[in-house]
Every structure is written in C-alpha cells, then in structure tokens.
Structure 1
C-alpha cells in the first residue's frame, strides 16, 4: 500500500539555524508553498518543511522541544488509500480530507497519507565497487565527495515506550512488514514486501518512558558520500555523534550528526534489499549488533583521524 516517506514537517526553535544546518547537510532549499516555512526537496520527491515550533498549523508535539511533528507517507494507488481509510477510521486522531488522511500512531505522532509514487529511477548512480569475484569498476577511480547530496528520506527512528502496540499498529493498520527485531527492544519495519531493509525503526529503551524522535536517515549513493558528507559537517563545525561506521543488522554504512531539528540526521547507504521470501531475525540486543565498527565523534577534516582523539 505504501511506498515511502514523502514529507516531514518539523517544529523548531531556530529556523535560521536549521536552514544553515540542512544546507550544509546537502539538502536543497526551494521556494516553499506554505507561508512562513522553509522547504527542502530531494531527488526522489521527498521534502522537509520547517515551521516555528509554536505554529498553530502544526499538529501537537509528541515530545518537548524541536522535533518531528508530522510524517506524510506516499500511497501507491487510490484503492490503497481507500483501504487505509477503512483501516484507520477507528484510530486516534483520524481525519478524512478526501485525498488526504490523518491519524496518530501509538507514540502520539501525527501521520498523513496521500497517493504519490516516490521516484527510484534517479540519475545519480553510484560508481561500482570492486570486490573479490565481482569486478564492477574498470579503468575508473572511486569518487571523492566534498559534501553529500542526499537522494531522499530513507527511514525514521522513533522512541516507542509501548513497542508492542506501535509494532502492531504499523503491521495491522498500515501493512508494514517486520524485517528484523531486537527482542523487546526494537522493530525494523519496511513499508512494502519488497524493498529496502527498513523505513521505520521503533526503539524501546529501558531508561526512557516517553516517545520521541531518535533520528532521520537520508540515503546517499555510496560509502564515499557518507564519508564526504560527514567530513563536510565536521568542517562546518556541526557536532558529529558517531560515524562513519557499519550496522550489522541492515548492513548499512552510516554517519550521524546532532541536529537542531531534534534527534540526529544520518547519512546512510548499502542497506539490505529484501523480498517476501525474507524471514525476520530476532536478536537479544548487544552493542556489536548496533555497530560492527564505528568512529566516535567522526573524523577530523584536517588530520583525517578520529575527531575526539586529537
């Protein structure tokens, strides 16, 4: 029914700071079609709107401070929107505006749904990687990026104190598929039977009782763009959280940067692509499942060594 994340709306404390951060991150500012907001668009058709957090046009916040206020999910066909209308009519916050549906998930986050197809046939193609037994790049060097240009919003990670209820909602009401799970700690979920490893990750932490935004993840072309993007953010004096690194669950390379939008922004690439034949794996959470390897605080752009060890 659903094919991806179309729009994110944020309520923030400092729109100018967020505009500077997002531009340095590689998002493209465009003229906004909503008054008194800042808009960024990406190659696959996804967009971000930045509001003042006290703007009354925004739905209620599900946590204090700057944070995500609404996700719009792209729905494949009108028939799918009609099915969602039936599925969601008894859900908290349900509103039917014809071509646009609204509800709140068990975390209290507002979701909306509209018919739209996110683009996948993009011009920005990664240069091949040479590995033993698989030669994909001949007479051509791998790229070096001065900064990143994210192709789209790939996934969202939410703090979900009632993990079971949130997972049940996304599976039963929205038709999501479980890709992998940490037992009683997290659910990696994709919005289609065939697709990338996850579009949403629901995270339950033992010491956190409130819902909220953990991070937003942006797709880039390859590991070289992950590193180029992260180095540029350190060059611009933004605060790297962790990365580069690699997640064993999903296989993705990553770099996280603390964000004035709330939570963190992540560059990532190389996540697993799954079909209906995939069977979810269930793990007891451990640090080595979060990161096979990672650099704490990022890499210093001047020395090209670990930032926090300088």
Structure 2
C-alpha cells in the first residue's frame, strides 16, 4: 500500500464568501457551491472544500477558529484500503465505507484515505539554463499573470505530540522521514520516491497544536512570482515571500488565508529516492529561508511594498 499524495483538504470557515473569493483569486476552479459549502479543484483534480464551520458533518476541529478539518490522502486501488482498515481499526474516530477509511491522528486531525480521483496532466514548467546545460534554447521563460495550482502539495501542522504523530504516519500510512529538526520537527514524504515532503510536523516550545499552512504546487519559479503578484494586486496579505527554503530547495510565497493558517505557492522542490539519508537541522531563520522578501512584492510596481515605485520607462531611470 502506497499513499500517492493529498487528494482533498477540507476547511471549516467562518467567513464563507471571503474564503470563496480568496480561493478563486488563488487560482482554483470553482466547481460547485451553495450558501454554506464550496468545492474547488486544482488542475489535476485535487479538491479543496470550504464549509461553514458550524456544519455538523465536519470532523471536530483541533484548534479554535477557521482551520483545516480533514486531510484526504489517495491510493491507487480500492484493494489497498483493505490493509488500511486493519491498521487503523484501533485509532480514535475510526470509520470505514466501501470507498474510504478514516480516523483521527494523534494530534486530533481527521485523516481520510480513498481511491485517487486525480487526473494525469500534460503540464510542464519552464526549464532553467544553468552553467554547462542549456535546456531552454530560442525560447523565453514565461511570465504568468496569475497562478493555476497543479495540485495540493503538502500540509504543515504544529503538534504537541511529535513522536507519536511521526510514528502514526510512518507505521500506519507508510510515510518516510526525509529530514528532521531533532525533537522539534519531521519532514515526511508519503512514498520512498517522491517530492521532499508531503507533510511537515513542527513542535513549538509552547505546545500549541494547529494548522501552519497548506502548500500548492505550481509549474515553476516564474508561476510562484506570477501567482504572488496577482494575489498582491487583489489585496491579499503576504506573510513572507517570495523566498527559498534551503531544506527542500523550493521557492515559495506565503499568504494569510481567511480559511485558516497560511497558504503557499511553491515550486522546484528536491525529489528523493530510497537512497536518501535523512539529515538533521538546527531550527533558525536562515534554515527556514535562505532568502525571503519581508512583506512581499507589490503587484503593480513589482517591487518590495516598502520601496519607492520606479520612475520612467526603465527601472534604471531616475528623477531629474
């Protein structure tokens, strides 16, 4: 049994219309909605649900306010659910149907596993020309006016039971630990061969648990910038970015999310195999971000929001 990745995320929200507008600006397709529930999709069919927080059908929240209520993971075949039913049967909140199995993880996040509905895509990012290897010839890199996320790439939780939660995902769902902050955090991927992490668990000194962020994969670094600039033009607030994570090598841009926590565009993460040996890192600002723009970039001037706008036709042109 191998988890393929995130199939669906479900938010319990307190300002439904604002959240619905935000996810459309984020670049998701509004598939269906009514007064209390909206369903969005990424390009490959990953689903984002925004549901009124008072809806009794939602799993119990693991923190106050708008937040993530459930993460659904995908497997390739229905037969793989049988093994999971046995493994998860003793977990809190366990349930099973013909099409899915679910429970709560040790921190209280609802976990569901079902057969994947994600679509195969013919989508490529722009290759980079590095010294000694020109992959893009007679072809300029794209400039994106906005982002269209390809998939839901990973989730990040604050946890008050790091060891128990890491063991739950490794022993019951088959996740592998890619890298660690010893006794503080674990970067985990859902299969031995795959992107650097699908899940990051972080223990804070104050013992807080809850959602940190949900990250959406885009084609390339240029779409990270294009998506972030569009969100800025729409008036949404940058938390940090654009920037680059040294641990996973990914470029990122994080925004405040009215549905709960933060939300991230990212691209160009490391791809690992079973030969990878987990590394230990000491937490710190430069480990989190090799570089980052505090406050983001203004969507109209393309400059840091605290900087003056350029004058004239060229940025090198100065006022007389």
Please state which band the TM-score falls in when normalised by the shorter chain: over 0.9
Displacement of 1:35: 8.5
Cα distance in 2, alignment partners of residues 117 and 194 from structure 1: 21
Instruction: Show the counterpart of 1:266.
Output: 264
Provide structure 1 residue ranges, at least 5 long, that are not aligned to the other structure. Answer: none
1:64-75 alignment to 2 at 5 Å?
64-75=64-75
Instruction: Show the counterpart of 2:183.
Output: 184
1:125-274 alignment to 2 at 5 Å?
125-207=124-206, 209-274=207-272
Cα distance in 1, alignment partners of residues 204 and 258 from structure 2: 22
Task: Tell me if structure 2 keeps the 8 A contact 1:4–1:118.
Answer: no
Instruction: Show the counterpart of 2:90.
Output: 90
**Is 1:30 paired with 2:28?**
no
Task: Tell me if structure 2 keeps the 8 A contact 1:15–1:52.
Answer: yes
Query: Kindly tell me: are residues 250 and 134 of structure 1, through their superposed partners in 2, closer, same or farther at Cα, counting changes over 3 Å?
Result: same
Task: Tell me if structure 1 keeps the 8 A contact 2:231–2:299.
Answer: no
Give the structure-1-normalised TM-score.
0.96
Cα distance in 2, alignment partners of residues 278 and 80 from structure 1: 26
Displacement of 1:309: 4.4
Q: What SS class does the counterpart of residue 210 from structure 1 fall into?
A: coil
Instruction: Show the counterpart of 2:115.
Output: 115
Displacement of 1:123: 2.3
Displacement of 1:134: 1.2
Displacement of 1:58: 0.4
Give the structure-2-normalised TM-score.
0.93
Provide structure 2 residue ranges, at least 5 long, that are not aligned to the other structure. Answer: 309-320
- Residues matched between the structures, number: 307
Larger radius of gyration: 2
